[in-house]
Amino acid sequence: MSKNRDHDYLYINEKKYLTDPKYTTTQFENLLKEISFGKKQESLWDIGCSNGSLLNYLVKKFPNSKLYGSDVIKESLEVAKKNTHSSIEYFFDDITKEKTLSLECDVLISVGVFQIYEEIEKILNQYISRVKPKGYIFIQGPLNKYGVDVLIKYRDNRNTKTEEIDQIGWNLWSVEYLENLFDKIKEIENYEFIPIHFPKDLTVEHDHKDTLRSWTVNLDGENKFLNGLFLQDHYFIKLKIDKSS
Ligand SMILES: C[S@@+](CC[C@H](N)C(=O)[O-])C[C@H]1O[C@@H](n2cnc3c(N)ncnc32)[C@H](O)[C@@H]1O
C-alpha cells in the first residue's frame, strides 16, 4: 500500500455510491453487455475495488456471473464484505506485484488505479497476468489527450499529514503514449479509447474541505470534472487480450 495516497482512505466510507451509483458505474453495464458478459464471459475481477460499490451494482445486473474484488487497503475490503452482496468474493491483492493467487478472470475492471503508478508497463503486465488467455481489461480514469504525459506530486495544504509535497496518484498518461505502448504488447489483440461524456444534468458540488474530490463544471457546453489539480478528460480503455498469439 502506498503511504503517499492519503486520499484512498476517503473512498472507504463513501457509502452513497452503494445505493446511488456513479454515472461511470452505470456505463460499465453497457460495456459489459457489448462483449456479451454474463453469456460468454462468466467471471469479473475489480482491481482496486475500495468499498465494493461498482461490484454491488454489477452483481444485480449480472446475477449469474462470479464477481471478485481486491484492494491493498484491508479496511476497504472489510467495509466491502459487510456492505455488499454476499456472493462477491474479496481479497487482498497488490497490482504492482506478481499475483499470489492462481485466479484468472474473463474480465478485469480497474477504476482510478492505473494512474497512481509510474511503472505503467509493469502494471499492465500484472493486469494481463490476472485475465484469462482470451479476455478483456477495462481501465477507467482521466487521460491526457494532447500527447503530454504528466507525473504529479502534490501537497493538499488543508489535509496534509506530513507537511511535505509527497502525495501521488493523479498521473495523466497521454492517449498517444498508451497507444504506442499497447501496440508493442503482443497479448493486446486490440484496444479502444472511449471518451466519457457526462450527462449535462449530472452535478457534483465542490467540497472545499476536500479539494481533491472532483466536481463538475460547464465548459463550452460540455459537462466536465475538475479538481484542485486539473481539468479532467475521462476515458474507458478497453483492451482485448489474446495470450495465445
Ligand atoms: C481512486 S481509488 C478508486 C476506488 C474505486 N475503484 C472507485 O472507483 O471508486 C483507488 C483504489 O485503488 C486501490 N489501490 C491503490 N493501489 C493499489 C494496488 N497496488 N493494488 C490494488 N489496489 C490498489 C486503493 O486502495 C483505492 O481503493
**What pTM was estimated for this model as a whole?**
0.95
Mutate to test the pocket of ligand 1, among 11, 18, 139, 167 (most ligand atoms within 8 A of CB): 11
Average pLDDT, whole number, for the chain? 94
The phi and psi torsions of 141 (rounded to 5 degrees) equal 165, 180
| Residue 133 pLDDT > 80 | yes
**% residues pLDDT > 90 (the chain):** 88
Query: Does the pLDDT of residue 3 top 90, yes or no?
Result: no
Distance CA 173, CA 114 (A): 9
Beta strands in the chain (DSSP E): 43-47, 66-71, 89-92, 105-111, 131-143, 188-195, 215-219, 222-226, 231-242
Please state the length of the chain.
Answer: 245
Question: Distance (Å, rounded) from C-alpha 215 to C-alpha 228?
Answer: 9
The model's confidence at residue 2, banded by pLDDT at 50, 70 and 90, is low
pLDDT band at 13 (very low <50, low <70, confident <90, very high): confident
Residue 40's pLDDT band, with cuts at 50, 70 and 90, is: low
Q: Cell 489535509 appears where? A: 159
113 CA from centroid of ligand 1 (Å): 5
With bands split at pLDDT 50, 70 and 90, how would you rate the model's confidence at 9? confident
Ligand 1 atom, smallest distance to 97 CA: 19
pLDDT in tens, 73-123: 999 999 999 999 999 999 999 999 999 999 999 999 999 999 999 999 999
Distance separating alpha carbons of residues 81 and 101, to the nearest angstrom: 19
pLDDT surpasses 80 at 245? no
Average pLDDT over residues 12-22: 81
Per CATH, the architecture of 8-198+233-242 is what?
Answer: 3-Layer(aba) Sandwich (3.40)
Backbone angles phi, psi at 111, to 5 degrees: -115, 125
* Sequence spans of domains, the chain: 8-198+233-242
Counting atoms of ligand 1 from 1, which one is nearest the CA of 94?
20
Could you tell me the pLDDT band of residue 45, with boundaries at 50, 70 and 90? Answer: very high
pLDDT at 192: 98
The residues with which 107 forms a beta bridge, in sequence order, are 44, 136
**Is the minimum distance from the CB of 21 to ligand 1 under 6 angstroms?**
no
Higher pLDDT among residues 11 and 187, named by residue = 187
